[in-house]
Structure 1
Amino acid sequence: MTKVEVVPNGGHQNSKKTVSYWDPVFQTADPAMFQKASWDFVRNGGPRLAIFDAAELKSPVKIERIHFENCDFIGIFPEYSKFSNCIFEKCDFSNSTFTMAKFNSCRFKRSSLSTATFQDSEFRDCTWEEIGLSGNTTKLDGTIITNPTKFIEAAYTAENPNEQNGQTSTKRYQRARLEITKSEIARAIYQNHTRKGSDKDYYECVQLTTIQSIKEEISHRTIENISPNIKIPKLLFNKVLNSINTIDMQIIILVLNINAWGRSITRPLFFGLIIISLYTAAYCYFLRIALLDSIIMSLDISLVAGYTKHSSTLDGTLKQILAVSNLVVGLIWYAVIIPTVINRISKVR
């Protein structure tokens, strides 16, 4: 856990600002300049270089339209605290705990949520820019985030300015570590949305977690490849596996966009109609088959029911190519539409 020490002049010493080069609040301000601040914002709508200690609160806070800049939040906050339309710029939430708190339409800019705990809280319609996260110490148990993809994409890291040649200072290493962290956080958010939140956010979490899990695999091998002790065969093998994973990810994205990652039944139905229409036109134009027979042939093969009925080894090359491609596309469509319908009917997340 990041060390925070309150010093006699009211300021504090925070190792994130002086040591943790990967954190967005690193070197944003001199820790000695911070002073404990009051929770009264009647005359102070833009606090700077302030420490807000939850120990001074006896009841939940309800704060609106305050711009916090270079501020630190520490302590265990009263349940049901609420922040609306606030800006948190270069703020550090280390060693803070929020339970059943709500952040509505807030902006988090270059702020750190690592070593912070948010229990059964909500971040609704917030915006995120360069935020610090930790897969181990950012706790989001039961917490809902209504735009999880933007939250994960905003995760921040940086190189060590004092170690230009070390393994841990390279951009590749830091980016790989960041992708692993993003995957860990994405899984935590996904678990939360399986129990609560909207269907829209849940299916966005499905997409996010699926993609990040593949990126995590690639990142682990990337870190292994950076090691100076890795053997050439292992290095080449890892590169091949990473290429395969990258192709896998693109195929998954392409296929699961058919049903909007589980959100839509209409899209795969429409996709099925397009398949049948295109192959009907192909059979009519290229094979000179009558329209009604072309529709039946396209429908039978697309539904994976009549391939053998309409194709044989005696057919010409063009007909076999069209029939096989129709079968493959139909199999993909069939594999998507059936689970989608079952999932939507059963309402099981």
Structure 2
Amino acid sequence: MSKRKFAWWDCLYTQKSVQLKPGNWNFTNNKGPTKFKLDDATLLAFQKLIGKTENISFWDITFDTCDFSGNFEHGQIKFKNCNFVNCDLGSNSTWTKTKFNHCNFTNCSFTLAEFNDCFFYECTWKSTTFNGSTKLINTLVSDACGLVDSGYTNLDTAVLEAKSVTPKHQIWRLDQSKAKLSRMLMQGGEHHGDDLAYYSGVKSYLTQAVKASRSKARFNSVNGPKKKFNMVLGWILSFELLILNLSGWLNSWGQSIAKPAIFGFIMTLVFGAGYAWEQDSMSLGLIKAFDITFLIGYTKHSILEACMPKQLLYAGNAFMGLWWYAIMVPCLVNRISRVM
């Protein structure tokens, strides 16, 4: 099936077939192959011809409107500083131990593709199509959030009406695919690569799981039997996503210990300055802020006789301290226990 003619949800969809010429993988005199069909058989033949059956590299090539098909497992393939524009990398294709370094993907489809032990390092993504059939097995993507955020689905009203679907339905399906892909990216980052790739995967998975549930609630608020319930659920999930993003920002999604420590120090100083105006002493203000922030002296300072503004200030300080403490301590324990 031609994605460009029939896959109306895909970024390659143009409602018509594109005539592709057979390609031979020899780009010595052609750094911009356009409208080629590149398969595993011709690649293997080219590798044997040049005597590089173990590995082969392609540098500074711009693939425009090219389809890749087959099982690319004959040695290690490496693409560096390459551009993929309007390309299909997933027509039932399997990539094994392939490296994409500093590559740019624009309007590319990864549906029906499988990547085994592959590596995408410092790549950029724009309008990428993937679905539940996209598999990333032991594959590392250094910028998981970039890949997931580039996820594309067709929201053209005319096309959707012809297919009897709604934009909310398509967004829900896309967010489900993003959540599934994010889990695979997090697992790949955990066992391969550096901490930056892993925590990027953590951020992507945690936020996409909530977004997928929110998209489902929004779709059901229009089409489901419990419309009001799902409308309220959508609001609750938006609030949950806000809290999750704020908490993740505070410790860089588990990566940083210094960031929440600095935040706690600044928070204590700010509240201490406020209490210093009340106590007429900066030192006493800081002690009071420390007591309430760390919850060791909240009851000592917050008494029933205090006026309502003071009660609210103390409660706000205690709440901020509790939120900070709940993020700071598990982050520290997690970082230490991962090493031990």
- The match for 2:60 is 65
Shift of 1:72: 0.8
Residues of 1 paired with 2:209 and 2:41: CA distance?
Answer: 39
Is 1:90 matched up with 2:86?
yes
Aligned pairs for 1:159-170 (under 5 A) are 159=155, 161-162=158-159, 164=161, 167-168=164-165, 170=166
Q: Which runs of 5+ in 2 are unaligned?
A: none
Could you say what secondary structure the match of 2:191 adopts? coil
Q: For 1:172-209, what per-residue CA distance to the aligned partner results, in whole angstroms no more than 9, with x for missing partners? A: 22222111111111111011111121111211211111
Residues of 2 paired with 1:282 and 1:195: CA distance?
Answer: 47
Is 1:326 matched up with 2:317?
yes
CA RMSD of aligned residues (A): 1.9
Residues of 2 paired with 1:348 and 1:166: CA distance?
Answer: 52
Could you say what secondary structure the match of 2:161 adopts? coil
**2:124 aligns with one of 100, 113, 127:** 127
User: In 2, are the aligned partners of 1:167 and 1:226 still within 8 Å (CA)?
Assistant: no
User: In 2, are the aligned partners of 1:173 and 1:226 still within 8 Å (CA)?
Assistant: no
- The match for 1:247 is 239
User: Partner amino acid for 2:199?
Assistant: Y
Is 1:53 matched up with 2:45?
no
Is 1:99 matched up with 2:85?
no
Residues of 2 paired with 1:17 and 1:291: CA distance?
Answer: 69
Residues of 2 paired with 1:90 and 1:322: CA distance?
Answer: 56
Is 1:346 matched up with 2:337?
yes
Residues of 2 paired with 1:261 and 1:105: CA distance?
Answer: 25
User: In 2, are the aligned partners of 1:28 and 1:70 still within 8 Å (CA)?
Assistant: no
* Amino-acid identity (%): 33
Could you say what secondary structure the match of 1:164 adopts? helix
- The match for 2:213 is 217
User: In 1, are the aligned partners of 2:8 and 2:15 still within 8 Å (CA)?
Assistant: no
Could you say what secondary structure the match of 1:97 adopts? strand
Q: Which has the higher helix share?
A: 2
Q: For 1:15-36, what per-residue CA distance to the aligned partner results, in whole angstroms no more than 9, with x for missing partners? A: 31211011111228634x2221
Shift of 1:125: 1.0
1:203/1:162 Cα in 2 relative to 1: closer, same or farther (>3 Å)? closer
1:220/1:348 Cα in 2 relative to 1: closer, same or farther (>3 Å)? farther
User: Partner amino acid for 1:151?
Assistant: L
Residues of 2 paired with 1:241 and 1:214: CA distance?
Answer: 11
Shift of 1:221: 2.0
Residues of 1 paired with 2:97 and 2:206: CA distance?
Answer: 28
Shift of 1:220: 1.6
Aligned pairs for 1:183-198 (under 5 A) are 183-198=179-194
Q: Which runs of 5+ in 1 are unaligned?
A: 1-13
User: In 2, are the aligned partners of 1:21 and 1:159 still within 8 Å (CA)?
Assistant: no
User: Partner amino acid for 2:270?
Assistant: L
Shift of 1:216: 0.5
- The match for 2:25 is 39
Shift of 1:213: 0.6
TM-score (norm 2): 0.91
Could you say what secondary structure the match of 2:84 adopts? strand
Farther off after superposition, 311-320 or 122-131:
311-320
User: Partner amino acid for 2:63?
Assistant: F
- The match for 1:11 is none
Q: For 1:251-283, what per-residue CA distance to the aligned partner results, in whole angstroms no more than 9, with x for missing partners? A: 121122111211111111111111211111111
Q: For 1:284-339, what per-residue CA distance to the aligned partner results, in whole angstroms no more than 9, with x for missing partners? A: 21x23533222221111111111122222122333322222211111111111101
Could you say what secondary structure the match of 1:108 adopts? strand
Q: For 1:64-105, what per-residue CA distance to the aligned partner results, in whole angstroms no more than 9, with x for missing partners? A: 111111111111112311111111111111122111110011
User: In 2, are the aligned partners of 1:79 and 1:98 still within 8 Å (CA)?
Assistant: no
Residues of 2 paired with 1:98 and 1:261: CA distance?
Answer: 30
Residues of 1 paired with 2:15 and 2:69: CA distance?
Answer: 18
Residues of 2 paired with 1:29 and 1:45: CA distance?
Answer: 26
User: In 1, are the aligned partners of 2:113 and 2:135 still within 8 Å (CA)?
Assistant: yes
User: Partner amino acid for 1:306?
Assistant: G
Matched residues, number: 328
1:319/1:144 Cα in 2 relative to 1: closer, same or farther (>3 Å)? same
- The match for 1:336 is 327
**1:117 aligns with one of 107, 114, 118:** 114
Residues of 2 paired with 1:34 and 1:28: CA distance?
Answer: 16
Is 1:310 matched up with 2:307?
no
User: In 1, are the aligned partners of 2:81 and 2:103 still within 8 Å (CA)?
Assistant: yes
User: In 1, are the aligned partners of 2:25 and 2:38 still within 8 Å (CA)?
Assistant: yes
User: In 2, are the aligned partners of 1:25 and 1:110 still within 8 Å (CA)?
Assistant: yes
Shift of 1:165: 6.0
